[in-house]
Amino acid sequence: MAILGLDISGRGAFAYTVVDNGVVVEQGVKDVVGIIKIIKKYKPNILVIDSISELFENGKLIVKAIGRAPFNIDVVQATKVGEESLSVEELVRRNFGVSKGHLTPLETSMYLALLAEKGVGTKVKLYEEETVVLIKRRSSTAPGGMSRNRYMRNIRHRIRDLAEEISRRLNEVGLDYDLFFREEAGDITSARFIVYARRDLVRRYVKPLRSSDVVIDIFSEPVKSREAEAQRGEAYLIVGVDPGIVTGIALMDLNGRVLHTEARRNLSRGDALRRIYQWGVPVVVATDVASPPDYAKKLAAMCGAVLYHPDRDLLMEEKAAIAERLGYSAPTTHERDALAAAYKAFSEFKVKFDKLEKDFGSILSIKQLSRAKMLIAKGKSIAQAVAEVLKEEAAGGSTRVVYVPIERPCKDVDEELRGRVKALEYENSQLSKEVEELRREVAALRRALEDSTWRDLKYREMQQRIESLTKSLQECASSKESLAEEVLDLIQGVLAGRYKLYKEDEVVECRLSPGGVCRDYSSIEELIRSNVLGVPLNLVVVKKIKGYYVIDEQKRIEVLNKVREGLAKKEVDLKRLIEEYRRRAY
């Protein structure tokens, strides 16, 4: 396993050491381009550094090159050991027993690689969990005028065809993605896929391309903000989205307060979620159209939120009225549409939210109310939501010992218990209703299942009947075809004189009427033995059609001649035998 250790060595240069199985393979000092060549040469499994910020500040091209490599490289910060940050010198002393006040850049790179081989350090998230597949045109060398128009048309079709092919491959293997097209002066100049999978997995199904007109690049993008992970908001959010080339998002808390809106071009779902999480946790993803776009569906699925859409598309006037009612001046129509979607979703839950605050506002804290609203938005009943947050408090709260004088009534405890009893009674009544509804639903499903079973049985019977009839039809068609061929052959034979029609009464018993076609003999030998001239019917008949026999005339003549020859030979033999007998007698 190859490991590459790096340390800054002067301006724009890095000291490097390549270690493989504990052996130093190569060392030196190179600029950024030289380090990239070393990476391509050795294909290290691990790149180890002492400071991730130094790599981002001084080695941006290295970060970019690693993100485009056809193999995966884990980036490790050796000086980060668990929650502890240690100097390289201290790590070298602890792990190798070498005490040096200061290490040179080359020594540092070597020890970093050896430390990583021993498993020292922390893996750093250098890239988003997304892969970019970029289809773009190469720099044009086409002349202007009509030639350039034709060139741009070809490029547009080429990019679209490649995008469709890549979409088909990703769909076949079930990889989730966003797709954006970029246009300049009405012409498509690029297509950008954001695939939510590792780069090595994507490269199994999509390959880079360098042709005369287009390029396909596959790469991972560095993390957008390494601080964003720690800046996640705690509020529960309703997120309105208006997807498109420019995507608008609007964030509203569960009290109906507008927190933020923005619109961005080619905003992937990953980028959208990173921006949303800075404000809080998405509970509902809302859209302003009755048929929600795939972007909204997939965004909701990615963050485990409920998808809301209105019964009909919101009109432009309605969306403008909502923004005016909220007193919010949206900078763009995309933000206005997203805000209208979020508000419509909030309106859907507002009645339940108000009832929750009215019935339980006195016994729940603000934080508990917020969590209960989140549970209601996700489909829980009011009673279930209240019971769940109270159980969470009972399970997660710390135990307190409170000394109460005997003469002092336990007013607070009584109030709390009364509140819990009220909540439990409410939950009990709601659950009773739900049980009754579920019973009715089970009965309906049982009936539907019985109907479905009967339909399945009938379906199988009909399917078998169809298969049987289809087989019979095929046999009839085959029989009809062969019969037609046979009839055609008979007609042609009769017309050509090969066949002749004999009535049934023309086929005789040759014992009584020799010389014709015989029905009472079945072979030539039998006729010869009986000294009867004739032709056995079974040897020359082609077909019997109602009261007629179709006789093969050529064969009839051949058989008749054979019988004659046989009879003549028999007669000659008889004469010879008689003459022989006479000679012996005299």
SS3 129: coil
Between 485 and 355, residue with greater pLDDT: 355
Taking residues 405-410, what's their average pLDDT? 39
Considering the domain delimited by 131-219, tell me its CATH architecture.
2-Layer Sandwich (3.30)
**Which of the four pLDDT bands, split at 50, 70 and 90, describes residue 430?**
low
**DSSP annotation of 138:** P
Taking residues 158-187, what's their average pLDDT? 88
Taking residues 436-440, what's their average pLDDT? 83
Least-confidence region, from 82-91, 132-141, 284-293: 132-141
- What is the distance of C-alpha 464 from the center of its chain? 34
pLDDT at position 495 is: 80
CATH number of the 2-123 domain: 3.30.420.140
Residue 234 has pLDDT above 90, yes or no: no
Under 8 Å between Cβ of 417 and 344: no
In the chain, the percentage of residues whose pLDDT exceeds 90 is: 37
In SS3 terms, 341-386 reads as: HHHHHHHHHHHHHHHHHHHHCCCCCHHHHHHHHHHHHCCCCHHHHH
Taking residues 228-236, what's their average pLDDT? 63
**Which of the four pLDDT bands, split at 50, 70 and 90, describes residue 114?**
very high
Least-confidence region, from 121-130, 164-173, 313-322, 449-458: 449-458
pLDDT digits (tens, 9 = 90+) for 479-488: 888 878 878 8
Overall residue count recorded for the chain in this entry: 586
Taking residues 92-98, what's their average pLDDT? 88
pLDDT digits (tens, 9 = 90+) for 575-585: 888 888 888 87
**Which of the four pLDDT bands, split at 50, 70 and 90, describes residue 143?**
low
Taking residues 208-237, what's their average pLDDT? 77
Block residue for tokens 């080619």? 266
pLDDT at position 409 is: 43
Considering the domain delimited by 232-360, tell me its CATH architecture.
2-Layer Sandwich (3.30)
pLDDT at position 264 is: 93
Q: Tell me how crowded residue 338 is: count the other CB atoms within 10 A of its CB.
A: 30
Taking residues 545-570, what's their average pLDDT? 86
Block residue for tokens 């502890």? 84
pLDDT digits (tens, 9 = 90+) for 188-197: 888 999 998 8
pLDDT at position 189 is: 84
Q: Mean pLDDT across the chain, nearest whole number?
A: 85
- Cα separation, 353 vs 372, in Å, equals 9
